[in-house]
Amino acid sequence: MKILIIGAGAREHAICWKICQSSSTHTLFIAPGNAGTALLGENVLLDPLDFNKVGQFCLEQNIELVFVGPEEPLVLGIYDHFKSTKELQNIIITGPGKEGAQLEGSKSFAKKFMKKYGIPTAAFAEFHSASFDEGCAYIQSHSLPIVLKADGLAAGKGVLICTTHNEAINEFSSILKDKKFGDAGNKVVVEEFLTGVELSVFLLTDGTNYLLLPEAKDYKKIGQQDTGPNTGGMGAISPVPFATEHFMLKVKEKIIVPTLSGLRTENIEYSGFIFLGLIKVNDEPFVIEYNCRLGDPETETILLRLKNDLVQLLKGMATGNLAEQEIMIDKKSAATIVAVSGGYPGHIEKGKQIDFNYLENPQAIKHIDEAGGGVTVFHAATIQKNTEVLTNGGRVLTASALSDSLPEALELCIETLSQIHFEGMYYRPDIGYEFVD
Protein backbone atom coordinates (compact mmCIF):
# COMPACT_ATOMS: atom_id res chain seq x y z
CA MET A 1 0.00 0.00 0.00
CA LYS A 2 1.18 3.55 -0.68
CA ILE A 3 0.82 5.66 2.43
CA LEU A 4 1.25 9.39 3.02
CA ILE A 5 2.10 10.52 6.54
CA ILE A 6 1.55 14.18 7.31
CA GLY A 7 3.82 15.80 9.89
CA ALA A 8 7.45 16.26 10.80
CA GLY A 9 7.94 15.15 14.39
CA ALA A 10 9.07 12.12 16.34
CA ARG A 11 5.42 11.05 16.43
CA GLU A 12 5.44 10.76 12.64
CA HIS A 13 8.80 8.96 12.64
CA ALA A 14 7.34 6.48 15.15
CA ILE A 15 4.25 6.02 12.93
CA CYS A 16 6.55 5.24 9.98
CA TRP A 17 8.52 2.81 12.14
CA LYS A 18 5.32 1.07 13.25
CA ILE A 19 3.98 0.81 9.70
CA CYS A 20 7.29 -0.76 8.68
CA GLN A 21 6.55 -3.52 11.23
CA SER A 22 3.33 -4.42 9.36
CA SER A 23 2.90 -7.89 7.95
CA SER A 24 2.69 -6.45 4.42
CA THR A 25 5.13 -4.13 2.74
CA HIS A 26 4.14 -0.50 2.33
CA THR A 27 5.67 2.45 0.52
CA LEU A 28 5.85 5.56 2.67
CA PHE A 29 5.84 9.24 1.79
CA ILE A 30 6.16 11.83 4.52
CA ALA A 31 5.16 15.49 4.20
CA PRO A 32 7.40 17.16 5.14
CA GLY A 33 9.15 14.62 7.41
CA ASN A 34 12.62 14.83 8.95
CA ALA A 35 16.03 13.17 8.61
CA GLY A 36 14.70 10.07 10.42
CA THR A 37 11.59 9.55 8.31
CA ALA A 38 13.79 9.86 5.19
CA LEU A 39 15.39 6.56 6.17
CA LEU A 40 12.04 4.77 6.07
CA GLY A 41 10.34 6.50 3.15
CA GLU A 42 10.50 9.49 0.86
CA ASN A 43 10.14 12.96 2.32
CA VAL A 44 8.06 15.25 0.13
CA LEU A 45 8.00 19.01 0.21
CA LEU A 46 4.27 19.52 0.59
CA ASP A 47 2.56 22.08 2.76
CA PRO A 48 0.13 20.00 4.87
CA LEU A 49 -2.26 22.96 4.91
CA ASP A 50 -2.41 23.21 1.12
CA PHE A 51 -5.13 20.58 0.75
CA ASN A 52 -5.35 20.89 -3.03
CA LYS A 53 -1.64 20.12 -3.41
CA VAL A 54 -1.85 17.25 -0.92
CA GLY A 55 -4.82 15.80 -2.83
CA GLN A 56 -3.04 16.21 -6.16
CA PHE A 57 0.02 14.43 -4.81
CA CYS A 58 -2.16 11.56 -3.58
CA LEU A 59 -3.70 11.16 -7.03
CA GLU A 60 -0.34 11.33 -8.83
CA GLN A 61 1.19 8.74 -6.52
CA ASN A 62 -1.88 6.52 -6.11
CA ILE A 63 -1.84 6.99 -2.35
CA GLU A 64 -4.36 4.72 -0.62
CA LEU A 65 -4.02 5.87 2.98
CA VAL A 66 -3.24 9.24 4.56
CA PHE A 67 -2.21 9.44 8.19
CA VAL A 68 -2.60 12.96 9.58
CA GLY A 69 -0.22 13.52 12.52
CA PRO A 70 -0.74 17.10 13.77
CA GLU A 71 -3.99 18.84 14.68
CA GLU A 72 -3.85 21.88 12.44
CA PRO A 73 -4.75 20.21 9.11
CA LEU A 74 -7.59 18.36 10.88
CA VAL A 75 -8.96 21.49 12.52
CA LEU A 76 -8.78 23.27 9.15
CA GLY A 77 -10.64 20.44 7.41
CA ILE A 78 -8.24 18.17 5.51
CA TYR A 79 -10.54 15.20 6.16
CA ASP A 80 -13.55 17.10 4.77
CA HIS A 81 -11.53 18.13 1.71
CA PHE A 82 -10.83 14.48 0.91
CA LYS A 83 -14.37 13.31 1.59
CA SER A 84 -15.94 16.07 -0.49
CA THR A 85 -13.63 15.66 -3.51
CA LYS A 86 -14.84 12.89 -5.80
CA GLU A 87 -11.43 11.60 -6.86
CA LEU A 88 -10.14 11.57 -3.26
CA GLN A 89 -13.21 10.11 -1.55
CA ASN A 90 -12.01 6.53 -1.52
CA ILE A 91 -8.63 7.27 0.00
CA ILE A 92 -8.52 6.23 3.64
CA ILE A 93 -7.68 9.28 5.74
CA THR A 94 -7.48 9.51 9.51
CA GLY A 95 -10.03 12.03 10.72
CA PRO A 96 -11.88 13.58 12.30
CA GLY A 97 -13.55 16.16 10.07
CA LYS A 98 -13.58 19.83 10.90
CA GLU A 99 -16.65 19.57 13.15
CA GLY A 100 -15.26 16.79 15.32
CA ALA A 101 -11.83 18.43 15.41
CA GLN A 102 -13.42 21.32 17.30
CA LEU A 103 -13.00 19.15 20.37
CA GLU A 104 -9.37 20.28 20.13
CA GLY A 105 -9.70 23.38 17.97
CA SER A 106 -12.09 25.22 20.27
CA LYS A 107 -11.83 25.04 24.05
CA SER A 108 -15.21 26.73 24.24
CA PHE A 109 -16.80 24.03 22.06
CA ALA A 110 -15.15 21.27 24.11
CA LYS A 111 -16.23 22.71 27.46
CA LYS A 112 -19.84 23.22 26.35
CA PHE A 113 -19.89 19.72 24.91
CA MET A 114 -18.67 18.25 28.20
CA LYS A 115 -21.19 20.28 30.19
CA LYS A 116 -24.04 19.18 27.95
CA TYR A 117 -23.15 15.50 28.17
CA GLY A 118 -22.21 15.42 31.87
CA ILE A 119 -18.55 14.62 31.25
CA PRO A 120 -16.45 15.51 34.31
CA THR A 121 -14.30 18.60 33.73
CA ALA A 122 -13.23 21.71 35.67
CA ALA A 123 -15.93 24.34 36.31
CA PHE A 124 -15.64 27.21 33.83
CA ALA A 125 -17.03 30.39 32.34
CA GLU A 126 -16.38 31.92 28.94
CA PHE A 127 -15.82 35.55 27.95
CA HIS A 128 -15.12 37.65 24.84
CA SER A 129 -14.29 41.29 24.30
CA ALA A 130 -17.90 42.41 24.75
CA SER A 131 -18.00 40.71 28.17
CA PHE A 132 -14.52 41.87 29.22
CA ASP A 133 -15.64 43.74 32.39
CA GLU A 134 -17.82 40.84 33.46
CA GLY A 135 -14.82 38.53 32.97
CA CYS A 136 -12.60 40.74 35.14
CA ALA A 137 -15.18 40.66 37.94
CA TYR A 138 -15.48 36.88 37.60
CA ILE A 139 -11.69 36.49 37.84
CA GLN A 140 -11.46 38.82 40.87
CA SER A 141 -13.90 36.69 42.84
CA HIS A 142 -12.44 33.33 41.69
CA SER A 143 -10.24 31.15 43.90
CA LEU A 144 -6.52 30.81 43.04
CA PRO A 145 -4.77 29.50 41.05
CA ILE A 146 -6.98 30.28 38.09
CA VAL A 147 -6.65 28.85 34.58
CA LEU A 148 -7.10 30.93 31.41
CA LYS A 149 -7.43 29.21 28.05
CA ALA A 150 -7.44 30.86 24.66
CA ASP A 151 -10.31 29.32 22.71
CA GLY A 152 -8.43 28.38 19.53
CA LEU A 153 -5.16 26.69 18.60
CA ALA A 154 -2.21 28.64 20.00
CA ALA A 155 0.75 26.34 19.29
CA GLY A 156 0.48 24.76 22.74
CA LYS A 157 0.92 28.12 24.48
CA GLY A 158 -2.72 29.06 24.99
CA VAL A 159 -3.13 27.77 28.57
CA LEU A 160 -2.05 30.07 31.40
CA ILE A 161 -2.11 29.12 35.06
CA CYS A 162 -2.17 32.32 37.12
CA THR A 163 -1.36 32.44 40.81
CA THR A 164 -2.56 36.00 41.56
CA HIS A 165 -5.67 37.91 40.51
CA ASN A 166 -3.51 40.71 39.09
CA GLU A 167 -1.60 38.32 36.88
CA ALA A 168 -4.86 36.74 35.71
CA ILE A 169 -6.45 40.12 34.86
CA ASN A 170 -3.31 41.20 32.98
CA GLU A 171 -3.19 37.97 30.97
CA PHE A 172 -6.94 38.10 30.34
CA SER A 173 -6.49 41.59 28.97
CA SER A 174 -3.48 40.70 26.84
CA ILE A 175 -5.41 37.82 25.24
CA LEU A 176 -8.71 39.64 24.64
CA LYS A 177 -7.54 43.23 24.09
CA ASP A 178 -3.91 42.99 22.87
CA LYS A 179 -4.61 39.80 20.88
CA LYS A 180 -1.58 38.00 22.35
CA PHE A 181 -2.72 34.81 20.58
CA GLY A 182 -4.35 36.52 17.59
CA ASP A 183 -7.83 35.31 16.68
CA ALA A 184 -7.28 32.16 18.76
CA GLY A 185 -7.93 34.45 21.74
CA ASN A 186 -11.23 35.93 20.55
CA LYS A 187 -12.81 33.97 23.39
CA VAL A 188 -11.26 33.00 26.72
CA VAL A 189 -12.30 30.10 28.90
CA VAL A 190 -11.69 30.84 32.59
CA GLU A 191 -11.39 27.62 34.50
CA GLU A 192 -11.07 26.20 37.99
CA PHE A 193 -7.61 24.74 38.73
CA LEU A 194 -7.66 21.01 39.41
CA THR A 195 -5.01 19.33 41.57
CA GLY A 196 -4.08 15.78 40.68
CA VAL A 197 -1.97 13.56 38.46
CA GLU A 198 -2.27 13.67 34.69
CA LEU A 199 -2.75 10.83 32.26
CA SER A 200 -3.00 10.57 28.45
CA VAL A 201 -5.60 8.12 27.15
CA PHE A 202 -5.91 7.31 23.45
CA LEU A 203 -8.70 5.74 21.51
CA LEU A 204 -9.26 4.94 17.89
CA THR A 205 -12.87 5.10 16.75
CA ASP A 206 -14.76 4.36 13.56
CA GLY A 207 -17.65 6.48 14.78
CA THR A 208 -19.48 3.61 16.45
CA ASN A 209 -16.90 1.30 17.96
CA TYR A 210 -13.67 2.20 19.64
CA LEU A 211 -10.44 0.54 20.66
CA LEU A 212 -8.36 1.69 23.58
CA LEU A 213 -4.64 2.06 22.94
CA PRO A 214 -2.09 1.87 25.79
CA GLU A 215 -2.20 4.84 28.14
CA ALA A 216 0.79 7.06 28.87
CA LYS A 217 2.04 9.77 31.17
CA ASP A 218 3.65 12.79 29.55
CA TYR A 219 6.25 14.96 31.34
CA LYS A 220 5.54 18.49 30.17
CA LYS A 221 7.85 20.63 32.29
CA ILE A 222 11.37 21.45 31.11
CA GLY A 223 13.04 20.98 34.51
CA GLN A 224 13.67 17.97 36.69
CA GLN A 225 10.99 17.09 39.24
CA ASP A 226 8.45 18.85 36.98
CA THR A 227 9.72 22.39 37.41
CA GLY A 228 9.99 25.38 35.05
CA PRO A 229 7.96 26.23 31.97
CA ASN A 230 5.78 23.87 29.96
CA THR A 231 7.11 22.29 26.78
CA GLY A 232 5.62 20.14 24.04
CA GLY A 233 6.61 17.13 26.17
CA MET A 234 10.00 16.03 27.52
CA GLY A 235 9.30 12.33 27.89
CA ALA A 236 6.64 9.74 28.51
CA ILE A 237 6.10 6.36 30.12
CA SER A 238 3.61 3.54 29.59
CA PRO A 239 1.96 1.79 31.38
CA VAL A 240 1.04 4.32 34.04
CA PRO A 241 0.94 2.71 37.50
CA PHE A 242 -2.07 4.68 38.74
CA ALA A 243 -4.16 3.82 35.66
CA THR A 244 -5.54 0.74 37.38
CA GLU A 245 -8.28 -1.42 35.91
CA HIS A 246 -10.73 0.14 38.36
CA PHE A 247 -9.73 3.69 37.36
CA MET A 248 -9.81 2.90 33.63
CA LEU A 249 -13.32 1.52 34.04
CA LYS A 250 -14.38 4.92 35.39
CA VAL A 251 -12.67 6.58 32.42
CA LYS A 252 -14.69 4.39 30.07
CA GLU A 253 -18.03 4.87 31.80
CA LYS A 254 -17.77 8.54 32.71
CA ILE A 255 -15.76 9.89 29.80
CA ILE A 256 -15.33 7.67 26.74
CA VAL A 257 -18.88 6.35 26.41
CA PRO A 258 -20.58 9.76 26.92
CA THR A 259 -18.07 11.43 24.58
CA LEU A 260 -18.81 9.03 21.73
CA SER A 261 -22.56 9.06 22.29
CA GLY A 262 -22.48 12.87 22.60
CA LEU A 263 -20.78 13.10 19.20
CA ARG A 264 -23.43 10.86 17.69
CA THR A 265 -26.25 12.91 19.27
CA GLU A 266 -24.69 16.04 17.76
CA ASN A 267 -24.60 14.24 14.40
CA ILE A 268 -20.84 14.61 14.26
CA GLU A 269 -19.29 11.74 12.33
CA TYR A 270 -15.96 11.02 13.93
CA SER A 271 -13.45 8.49 12.66
CA GLY A 272 -9.92 8.83 13.93
CA PHE A 273 -8.11 9.24 17.20
CA ILE A 274 -9.34 10.84 20.39
CA PHE A 275 -6.61 11.75 22.86
CA LEU A 276 -8.03 12.46 26.31
CA GLY A 277 -5.83 14.65 28.49
CA LEU A 278 -7.09 13.54 31.90
CA ILE A 279 -6.38 14.46 35.47
CA LYS A 280 -7.06 12.11 38.38
CA VAL A 281 -8.51 14.00 41.32
CA ASN A 282 -9.27 11.87 44.41
CA ASP A 283 -9.48 8.76 42.25
CA GLU A 284 -11.94 10.38 39.84
CA PRO A 285 -11.06 11.20 36.20
CA PHE A 286 -11.64 14.72 34.81
CA VAL A 287 -11.00 15.89 31.26
CA ILE A 288 -8.39 18.66 31.05
CA GLU A 289 -8.53 18.68 27.25
CA TYR A 290 -9.53 16.73 24.18
CA ASN A 291 -7.18 16.33 21.24
CA CYS A 292 -8.16 14.96 17.85
CA ARG A 293 -4.83 13.23 17.15
CA LEU A 294 -2.14 11.20 18.85
CA GLY A 295 0.22 12.81 21.38
CA ASP A 296 3.92 13.49 21.10
CA PRO A 297 5.99 12.05 22.90
CA GLU A 298 3.25 9.60 23.95
CA THR A 299 3.06 8.00 20.47
CA GLU A 300 6.75 7.13 20.48
CA THR A 301 6.09 5.33 23.76
CA ILE A 302 2.75 3.59 23.29
CA LEU A 303 3.52 2.25 19.81
CA LEU A 304 6.32 0.19 21.31
CA ARG A 305 3.70 -1.65 23.36
CA LEU A 306 1.10 -1.99 20.62
CA LYS A 307 1.34 -5.41 19.01
CA ASN A 308 -1.35 -4.86 16.36
CA ASP A 309 -0.67 -4.09 12.74
CA LEU A 310 -1.34 -0.33 12.64
CA VAL A 311 -2.43 -0.41 9.00
CA GLN A 312 -5.13 -2.98 9.82
CA LEU A 313 -6.39 -0.75 12.60
CA LEU A 314 -6.53 2.26 10.29
CA LYS A 315 -8.39 0.27 7.66
CA GLY A 316 -10.84 -0.82 10.37
CA MET A 317 -11.33 2.79 11.39
CA ALA A 318 -12.31 3.68 7.83
CA THR A 319 -14.52 0.67 7.09
CA GLY A 320 -16.27 0.66 10.46
CA ASN A 321 -15.10 -2.79 11.48
CA LEU A 322 -13.10 -1.89 14.59
CA ALA A 323 -15.46 -4.08 16.61
CA GLU A 324 -13.94 -7.08 14.86
CA GLN A 325 -10.43 -6.19 15.97
CA GLU A 326 -8.84 -6.53 19.35
CA ILE A 327 -6.01 -4.46 20.75
CA MET A 328 -2.98 -6.46 21.79
CA ILE A 329 -0.70 -4.73 24.27
CA ASP A 330 2.74 -5.83 25.35
CA LYS A 331 2.93 -6.05 29.15
CA LYS A 332 6.46 -4.65 29.11
CA SER A 333 7.25 -1.05 30.04
CA ALA A 334 7.99 1.64 27.50
CA ALA A 335 9.70 4.97 28.04
CA THR A 336 10.70 7.92 25.90
CA ILE A 337 13.15 10.67 26.74
CA VAL A 338 13.29 13.70 24.46
CA ALA A 339 16.56 15.50 23.69
CA VAL A 340 16.02 19.21 23.07
CA SER A 341 18.08 22.17 21.89
CA GLY A 342 19.67 24.44 24.50
CA GLY A 343 17.32 27.23 25.54
CA TYR A 344 14.14 25.31 24.70
CA PRO A 345 11.24 26.11 25.24
CA GLY A 346 12.60 29.66 24.82
CA HIS A 347 14.94 30.85 22.11
CA ILE A 348 16.98 28.08 20.44
CA GLU A 349 19.59 27.91 17.72
CA LYS A 350 19.20 25.50 14.83
CA GLY A 351 21.77 23.91 12.58
CA LYS A 352 23.91 22.13 15.20
CA GLN A 353 25.54 18.98 13.95
CA ILE A 354 24.24 15.81 15.61
CA ASP A 355 26.89 13.27 16.42
CA PHE A 356 25.41 9.78 16.56
CA ASN A 357 28.56 8.32 18.10
CA TYR A 358 27.21 4.94 18.86
CA LEU A 359 26.78 3.45 15.42
CA GLU A 360 27.42 4.20 11.80
CA ASN A 361 23.72 3.93 11.08
CA PRO A 362 21.70 5.63 13.80
CA GLN A 363 18.56 3.83 12.76
CA ALA A 364 19.99 0.42 13.24
CA ILE A 365 20.44 0.58 17.01
CA LYS A 366 19.19 -2.44 18.91
CA HIS A 367 16.03 -3.44 17.16
CA ILE A 368 13.03 -3.67 19.34
CA ASP A 369 11.88 -7.24 19.21
CA GLU A 370 8.89 -8.85 20.81
CA ALA A 371 10.85 -11.07 23.12
CA GLY A 372 13.48 -8.85 24.59
CA GLY A 373 12.47 -5.27 23.90
CA GLY A 374 15.19 -2.78 22.99
CA VAL A 375 15.72 0.84 22.20
CA THR A 376 15.44 3.04 19.14
CA VAL A 377 15.84 6.68 18.24
CA PHE A 378 13.04 8.71 16.68
CA HIS A 379 13.94 11.96 14.99
CA ALA A 380 11.91 15.11 15.58
CA ALA A 381 13.45 18.41 14.46
CA THR A 382 16.32 17.06 12.38
CA ILE A 383 17.38 17.80 8.82
CA GLN A 384 19.84 16.07 6.53
CA LYS A 385 22.44 18.39 4.92
CA ASN A 386 24.81 16.46 2.67
CA THR A 387 26.29 13.80 4.92
CA GLU A 388 25.37 15.48 8.18
CA VAL A 389 22.25 15.47 10.30
CA LEU A 390 21.56 18.89 11.85
CA THR A 391 19.19 20.13 14.54
CA ASN A 392 16.22 21.99 13.13
CA GLY A 393 14.09 23.07 16.10
CA GLY A 394 13.36 22.66 19.81
CA ARG A 395 12.61 18.99 20.29
CA VAL A 396 15.35 17.28 18.30
CA LEU A 397 15.06 13.54 18.83
CA THR A 398 13.92 10.89 21.28
CA ALA A 399 15.31 7.70 22.69
CA SER A 400 12.42 5.27 23.11
CA ALA A 401 12.77 1.91 24.79
CA LEU A 402 10.80 -1.19 25.71
CA SER A 403 11.92 -3.44 28.52
CA ASP A 404 10.75 -5.73 31.33
CA SER A 405 10.61 -2.91 33.84
CA LEU A 406 10.30 0.87 33.75
CA PRO A 407 13.77 1.44 35.33
CA GLU A 408 15.32 -0.76 32.64
CA ALA A 409 13.51 1.05 29.84
CA LEU A 410 14.60 4.41 31.25
CA GLU A 411 18.17 3.19 31.59
CA LEU A 412 18.21 2.12 27.94
CA CYS A 413 17.00 5.59 26.91
CA ILE A 414 19.65 7.35 28.99
CA GLU A 415 22.40 5.02 27.81
CA THR A 416 21.44 5.75 24.20
CA LEU A 417 21.21 9.52 24.70
CA SER A 418 24.57 9.56 26.46
CA GLN A 419 26.10 8.42 23.17
CA ILE A 420 24.45 11.11 21.08
CA HIS A 421 25.75 14.66 21.09
CA PHE A 422 24.94 18.09 19.72
CA GLU A 423 25.88 21.50 21.07
CA GLY A 424 23.47 22.57 23.80
CA MET A 425 21.72 19.17 23.98
CA TYR A 426 19.53 18.78 27.07
CA TYR A 427 17.23 16.06 28.32
CA ARG A 428 15.50 15.19 31.56
CA PRO A 429 17.23 12.21 33.14
CA ASP A 430 14.39 11.93 35.70
CA ILE A 431 11.48 10.97 33.44
CA GLY A 432 9.28 8.53 35.38
CA TYR A 433 10.96 9.57 38.65
CA GLU A 434 7.90 9.20 40.83
CA PHE A 435 7.57 5.52 39.87
CA VAL A 436 11.23 4.56 40.31
CA ASP A 437 12.95 4.05 43.68
Reading phi first (left if > 0) and then psi (alpha if -120 to 50, else beta), residue 77 is in: left
Distance CA 278, CA 282 (A): 13
Q: Could you say which of ligand AMP, ligand GLY, none residue 296 binds, taking C-beta under 5 to 8 angstroms by partner kind?
A: ligand GLY
Tell whether residue 298 is a contact of ligand GLY (CB under 6 A).
yes
Q: Could you say which of ligand AMP, ligand GLY, none residue 233 binds, taking C-beta under 5 to 8 angstroms by partner kind?
A: ligand GLY
Total number of residues that touch ligand AMP (CB under 6 A): 13
Nearer to ligand AMP by Cβ, of 187 and 332: the residue is 187
H helical segments located in 356-405: none
CB of 297: closest distance to ligand GLY in angstroms?
Answer: 6
Q: What is the largest CA-CA distance in the chain?
A: 62
Site string for ligand AMP, 260-279 (x = CB under 6 A): -----------------x--
Check residue 407 and report its DSSP letter: H
Touching ligand AMP, residues 287-316 (CB under 6 A)? 288-289
Distance CA 254, CA 31 (A): 37
Site string for ligand GLY, 191-230 (x = CB under 6 A): ---------------------------x------------
Site string for ligand AMP, 216-255 (x = CB under 6 A): ----x---------x-------------------------
CB of 234: closest distance to ligand AMP in angstroms?
Answer: 12
Query: Could you tell me if 399 and 416 are in contact, meaning their C-beta atoms sit under 8 angstroms apart?
Result: yes
Check residue 200 and report its DSSP letter: E
Nearer to ligand AMP by Cβ, of 198 and 408: the residue is 198
Site string for ligand AMP, 141-180 (x = CB under 6 A): ------x--------x--x---------------------
Lateral strand order in the sheet of 197-205:
210-212, 197-205, 272-281, 284-291
Name the residue whose CB lies closest to ligand GLY: 295
Distance CA 371, CA 226 (A): 33
Beta bridge mates, 421 = 355
Distance CA 293, CA 96 (A): 9
Tell whether residue 104 is a contact of ligand GLY (CB under 6 A).
no
Query: Could you tell me if 16 and 6 are in contact, meaning their C-beta atoms sit under 8 angstroms apart?
Result: no
Q: Is the peptide bond before 285 cis (omega within 30 degrees of 0)?
A: no
Under DSSP, is residue 155 helix (H, G, I), strand (E, B) or coil? coil
The region of 87-95, 112-120, 293-301, 355-363 touching ligand GLY under the rule CB under 6 A is 293-301
By the criterion CB under 6 A, which residues form the site for ligand GLY? 218, 233, 291, 295-296, 298
